Structure 1
Amino acid sequence: MTDDYIYHVDGDLVPASEATVSVDDRGFRYGDAAFETLRAYGGTILAWDAHLERLERTCEALSLEHGLSAADLRGRIDETLAANDLADAYVRLSITRGVQPGKLTPQPDVEPTVVIYVKPLPRGGLEGDPVWDGPATVETVATRRVPDASIPAAAKTHNYLNGILARVELAADSDEALLCDLEGRIAEGATSNLCFVRDDVIHTPTTDGPVLPGITRDIVLELAREAGMPVREGRYEPADVLEADEAFLTNRTWELRPIATLDGRAIGGGPVTDRLAGLYDDRVENLCYE
């Protein structure tokens, strides 16, 4: 395989170097698009149904009636993985409202643009290696999370300017920006959810606030509850995290990534983080490799 991967663009498999969308596409022009970041393990898309449900919630929030079936979308993903001879991979699925007249108001008739691209990732599960090189260096930033009343937090759209502005604030050696809401309470990372541990209790910001309900986050909390580990979803100040015994980030690519430092203060992982990471690896192994 060369570095010129094969992408899926509007029903066709094309080399990445030849993959294009129109400059009049609303996904490019306005960020008017939904997307999902998925991970393939051994050729299996982990939590496909959960990703599909979140994609549909995003499209509903955007009033984007794309008319594509779940089987169609999944078939395109499988075709893209096969064309690249990939079993363990990062997968991104995007659906835009397509090309429409250059007006802000969207038209009801939609011919969506659908793009799928992939890149290789290490094997996951019990025999896997983490994608990240080491625990994350994290900073709280001045950029605030967009309120849910402005842009629905549960909608995963192409408009990532909020996260970009947060990442711009970071020092060169930092890995992730931690955003607060307008009241100064912790919301989430630019591309991750936050969990921290105090006195063996797992805490995480509630999705009642401006927090994207991450699918990896949901799996981790489910695993914790199944194992009898106490979980609390609430509203927290940055000081609460700085006093934590352990802290970690979750997203589809990183899985669980311990936080080495937050704003220069050492935190690190620990027994709870390690146990959850092990349970997550077990889940991946059982669902995707066995």
Structure 2
Amino acid sequence: MTDDSIYHVDGDLVPASEATVSVDDRGFRYGDAAFETMRAYGGTIFAWGDHLERLERTCEALSLAHGLDASDLRTRIDETLAANDLADASIRLSITRGVQPGKLTPQPEVDPTVVVYANPLPRGGLEGESVWDGPATVETVETRRVPDEALPAAAKTHNYLNGTLARAELEGDADEALMCDREGRLAEGATSNLWFVRDGEVHTPTTDGPVLPGITRRIVLELALEAGVPVREGRYEPADVLAADEAFLTNRTWELRPIATIDGHEIGGGPITARLSRLYDERVEHACYR
């Protein structure tokens, strides 16, 4: 990793200290942009196809016809990793609608702004190290998850005000804000999907509500089903997770992170959380290090 990280900005590799985006860019003005956060393990982008598909779905939801093909985007990612001498890293790829006249209405002709940057993360898989210091401290917050009818939950856009407001409510050293929907049912964390275990069954809020269908979430669902672990996707009240035997969060950076407490109520991980985490590590090991 170089002392000054190298960013990939609109086709050029530049030091982070010199990387700039126009103040007239719609990604800056309006949050009019799509992004994906990925993990590189041993130089391999884990679940690249899934990230690419979700990026395209987000761009379709934004009517953002960027005109870039998958091989171009992947080349920019690979060049960024190489320029920073990184094999194990977190990567963020952003595509904005670019600079357009100062009007809210987007124009059909797009000259996109494309930015890629990467930060080092420990090795994953069976010999990997955790990227978190300990189980998460979680607080439920008053901020509600934006309804899917207002902002499509499945789209990963630069408009993260909902999560920002949720995290702003956190007190002390809490790690994650847990949001409910308008009816007060559990939705998701500001940057994570929620899971809990009760009587040997794994539960997670359904993506029929305002819940991002996380890629790590999908993989954990798949692993649980393959291992014969019962899984239910449903609509839950905050009291349901407080009565759980185990609970954990998932996202691309944390992978599976046990929940130590929710609103001061101790929960913790357990055998099912540990088993699923092990299976996830095995999947990463097989896909990226062998």
- Range of TM-score over shorter length: over 0.9
1:42 corresponds to which letter in structure 2?
G
Instruction: Look up the equivalent residue of 2:258 and give its one-letter code.
Output: P
Correspondence 1:187-202 to 2 at 5 A? 187-202=187-202
Counterpart of 1:43, as a letter, is G
* Distance (Å, rounded) in 2 between the aligned partners of 1:47 and 1:90: 13
Q: Which 4+ residue blocks in structure 1 deviate beyond 2 angstroms?
A: none
2-structure distance, mates of 1:94, 1:3: 23
Residue 75 of structure 2 is matched in structure 1 by 75
Aligned residue type for 1:27: G
For residues 2 and 157 of structure 1, the distance between their equivalents in structure 2, rounded to whole angstroms, comes to 29
* 1:94 counterpart = 2:129: no
Aligned pairs for 1:133-152 within 5 A: 133-152=133-152
Note the C-alpha offset of 1:147.
0.2
Aligned to 1:184: 184
Residue 288 (structure 1) aligns with? 288
Cα distance in 2 between the residues matched to 1:49 and 1:2: 28
Give 2:228's aligned residue: 228
For the Cα contact (< 8 Å) 2:2–2:84, is it kept in 1? no
SS, match of residue 81 in structure 2: helix
Q: Write out aligned runs for 1:106-255 (5 A).
A: 106-255=106-255
Q: Is the 8 A contact 2:2 2:85 kept in 1?
A: no
1:173 Cα deviation after fit: 1.2
Match of 1:21 in 2: 21
CA RMSD for the aligned pairs?
0.5
Aligned equivalents of 2:264 and 2:141: distance in 1? 13
What TM-score does the superposition give when structure 1 sets the normalisation length? 0.99
- Code of the residue aligned with 1:74 in structure 2: it is R
Counterparts of 1:90 and 1:155, CA distance in 2: 20
After TM superposition, give the deviation of residue 3 of structure 1 in Å: 3.4
Tell me the SS of whatever aligns to 1:57: helix
Cα separation, 2, equivalents of 1:87 and 1:212 = 28
Percent identity between matched residues is 83
- The reply to whether residue 269 of structure 1 matches residue 269 of structure 2 is yes
For the residue of structure 1 that corresponds to 2:29, the secondary structure is helix
Which residue does the alignment assign to 1:279?
279
State the shift of 1:172 in Å. Answer: 1.9
State the Cα distance separating 1:11 from its structure 2 match. Answer: 0.1
How many Å separate the matches in 2 of 1:4 and 1:209? 42
Which structure 2 residue ranges, 5 or more long, are not aligned?
none
Letter in 2 for 1:207: T
Partner in structure 1 of residue 53 of structure 2: 53
CA distance in 2: counterparts of 1:4 and 1:234, whole angstroms = 46
1:4 Cα deviation from its structure 2 partner? 1.2
The residue type paired with residue 232 of structure 2 is R
SS in 1 for 2:240: helix
Which amino acid in 2 is paired with 1:258? Answer: P
Q: What secondary structure sits across from 2:92 in the alignment?
A: strand
Q: How many pairs does the alignment contain?
A: 290
Deviation at 1:181, TM superposition (A): 0.2
Alpha-carbon distance in 1 for matches of 2:109, 2:237: 45
Could you give the per-residue CA deviations for residues 6-25 of structure 1, whole angstroms, max 9, x where no partner exists?
00000000000000000000
Q: Gaps (5+ residues) in structure 1?
A: none
SS of the residue aligned with 2:78? helix
